[in-house]
Amino acid sequence: MFFVDAAHFVLGAFLSVVWCLARVWIKAPSGRQRFNVLGAIDAVTKEVITVVNSAYINSLSVCALLEKLATVRPTLPITVVLDNARYQRCALVKACADQLKIELLFLPTYSPNLNLIERLWKFVKKQCLYAKYYPDFHSFTTAIERCLQDTHTIHANALQSLLTLNFQTFQKIQS
């Protein structure tokens, strides 16, 4: 089972905490270049598989990710948990998933807390963006890609409690 979602990282100033009486100048990059990552995290191994670009995430990107997933686990059945983004629910993605024998499981609307990869994006932003300065776009993208590659090795202990499959459930109250 893979949890899939896109993250759009922007090369800009991300302040962590600044509180002082004197004015402090903080170095920040100019421009607003975007680094788009369409990622899938394995619910068990915490391995992350990505498709990246600096343009847009669209249905072709989702199909490319599904093809990568099919090559990673060729003999096992694959279920992909997605949100309701329009580029993920389109006929092209559904046809690609059918061809690759991948089951698509769409989450209820407005429920990002049910998608495990949302927690990973928060972790990556904390590790790579907050209070960090990158002199150019290449070093920015390299830092994000390195963090994502190290999720199931170097960052495994930090992510152990964050990426659990324990979701809070509620019983329906009858009135």
* pLDDT, tens only, 31-74: 678 899 999 998 888 888 999 998 889 999 999 999 999 998 88
In a domain, 25, yes or no: no
Portion of the chain with pLDDT greater than 70, in percent: 82
In a domain, 85, yes or no: yes
Q: Check: CB of residue 53 under 8 Å from CB of residue 11.
A: no
In a domain, 125, yes or no: yes
User: Greatest CA span in the chain, whole angstroms?
Assistant: 61
Residue of 123 and 131 predicted with greater confidence: 123
In a domain, 18, yes or no: no
Q: What's the CA gap between 120 and 139, in Å, rounded?
A: 20
We report the CATH number of the domain holding residue 58 as: 3.30.420.10
Instruction: Label residue 111 exposed, middle or buried (CB < 10 Å: 0-12, 13-18, 19+).
Output: exposed
In a domain, 88, yes or no: yes
In a domain, 22, yes or no: no
pTM: 0.81
The number of distinct structural domains making up the chain is: 1
Containing structural domain, residue 81: 2-11+32-160
In a domain, 98, yes or no: yes
Averaged pLDDT for residues 81-93? 91
Q: Which residues contact 148 (CB under 8 A, 6 or more apart)?
A: 37, 39, 48, 50, 124
In a domain, 16, yes or no: no
- DSSP structural state of residue 113: G
- DSSP structural state of residue 28: -
